């Protein structure tokens, strides 16, 4: 009986085990590669949205005086504007305040008006200036963040505008 231990049963079981390990390894590497590609594409999309948003924020928006035409409590009117914070010689404080009011009233509805699909956080800070608009990613357990900094002028004072796009969901394989 001892001579039958290394019989065909054991050899067959080892072949099945090794084949299963090879298949599991192949599937693991395939799914891992797909996840990596999906994550990379999603981060690239987030970065391109951020760069486009930063460019729009420095422009006047459409119409140029969108903040005076805005009814903050009527989100239907928000679809008729393109948000931009630029004004005469820098960032227009009135437009910044209008965007802050919009964000406070209905944050989710400001994202289409800003042309982004991700959550955003805008901070303008400088000498005597500290304005934050949107949702701070540190309070929402952000998993992916893209940041861009721009020097700006607001009311004749130099400041820095930090714009962040972020998400707290994973970039899954689609």
Per residue in 150-173, pLDDT (tens digit) is 999 988 889 999 999 998 877 543
Give the tens place of pLDDT for each residue, 2-21: 555 567 778 888 899 999 99
pTM of the model: 0.71
Residue 112 to residue 79: CA distance in whole angstroms: 8
Question: Would you state the pLDDT for residue 34?
Answer: 63
Q: Would you say 117 and 145 are in contact if contact means Cβ atoms under 8 Å apart?
A: no
Mean pLDDT of 91-108: 92
The H-assigned helical ranges of the chain are: 8-57, 66-69, 93-105, 107-114
Question: Would you state the pLDDT for residue 172?
Answer: 44
Question: Would you state the pLDDT for residue 3?
Answer: 54
The answer, yes or no, to whether residue 115 has pLDDT greater than 90, is no
For the chain, the structural domain boundaries read 12-167
Give the tens place of pLDDT for each residue, 27-82: 887 776 666 555 556 667 888 888 888 888 889 888 888 888 788 888 888 888 88
Q: 129-138 long-range CB contacts below 8 Å, 24 or more apart?
A: 129/154, 129/157, 129/159, 131/96, 131/100, 133/96, 133/99, 133/100, 133/103, 134/103, 134/107, 134/110, 135/107, 137/164, 137/166, 137/168
């Amino acid at each position: 009986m001892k001579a039958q231990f290394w019989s065909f049963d054991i050899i067959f079981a080892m072949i099945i085990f090794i084949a299963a390990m090879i298949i599991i390894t192949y599937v693991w590497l395939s799914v891992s590669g797909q996840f990596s590609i999906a994550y990379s594409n999603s981060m690239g999309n987030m970065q391109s949205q951020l760069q486009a948003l930063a460019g729009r924020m420095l422009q006047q928006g459409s119409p140029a005086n969108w903040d005076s035409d805005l009814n903050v409590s009527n989100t239907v009117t928000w679809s008729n504007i393109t948000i931009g914070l630029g004004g005469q010689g820098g960032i227009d404080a009135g437009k910044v305040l209008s965007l802050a009011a919009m964000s406070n009233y209905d944050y989710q509805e400001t994202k289409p008006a800003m042309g982004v699909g991700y959550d955003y956080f805008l901070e303008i800070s400088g000498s005597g200036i500290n304005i934050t608009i949107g949702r701070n990613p540190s309070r929402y357990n952000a998993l992916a963040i893209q940041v861009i900094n721009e020097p700006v002028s607001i009311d004749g004072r130099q400041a820095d505008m930090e714009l962040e796009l972020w998400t707290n969901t994973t970039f899954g394989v689609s």
